[in-house]
Amino acid sequence: MDVVDLGDSVRVGAIFEESGRLKPVWFAYDGRRLAVERVTYSWRDRDGDVKILHYAVKVGGTVYELALDTSTLSWRLERSYVE
């Protein structure tokens, strides 16, 4: 498995589900718009006072980790894991 640390700011399309949960559905990376096939896992973390929402999303044979900074509502693509 190859792990690549990215740390790039990215544009993300996300929807709020009926339950109120946020679900990323696509993100722009490397000049392409990648459709999220499945959110495989999500978790929360804090950086000081700021709550960070993390999402592991599957696109083809790759899992990307997206992170939403809830204070600035900015998304970052943290790393990718290739099978």
Partner 1 sequence: MWASTTGLAHGRPLLGGERPGPVGLGPGAEAYGERWERVVIFLDMNAFFVNVEARAKPWLRGKPVLVVGSRKARSVVAACSYETRKFGVKSGMPSEEARRLCRDAIVVPADIPKYTHAIREVVARAHNYTPVVEITSIDELALDATTTFRRWGTPRDCAAAFAREVREDLGLPCSLGVAPNKMMAKVAAGLEKPNGLTVLRPSQLEPFLEELPATELPGIGDKLGEHLRRLGASTCGQLGRLPLSRLKARFGIVGDVLQDMGRGIDRRPLMAHYDYEEAKSVGNTITLNRDTYDAAELRRTFLWLCERVARRLRGEGYCGRCVYAVARYPDFYTVGRSHRLSHYVDEGMDVFRAAWPLLPKDLGERGVRMLGVSVSMLLYHCKPGNLFEIRRDRFTATLDELNRRYGRGALERAELLPGLPGGLYETVKAGWHPG
Q: Which residues bind partner 1 (CB under 8 A)?
A: 1, 3, 40-41, 43-50, 54, 56, 58, 61, 63, 65, 81, 83
Q: Taking the complex as a whole, how short is the minimal distance between the CB of residue 43 and partner 1, in angstroms?
A: 4
Name the residue nearer to partner 1 (CB basis): 23 or 58: 58
Nearer to partner 1 by Cβ, of 5 and 31: the residue is 5
Q: With the C-alpha atoms ordered 8, 59, 80, 70, is the resulting torsion angle positive or negative?
A: positive
Whole-angstrom CA distances from 13 to 16, 50, 79 are 10, 21, 18
Query: Which residue number, 8 or 37, has a Cβ lying nearer to partner 1?
Result: 37
**Distance, CA of 22 to CA of 13 (rounded, Å):** 10
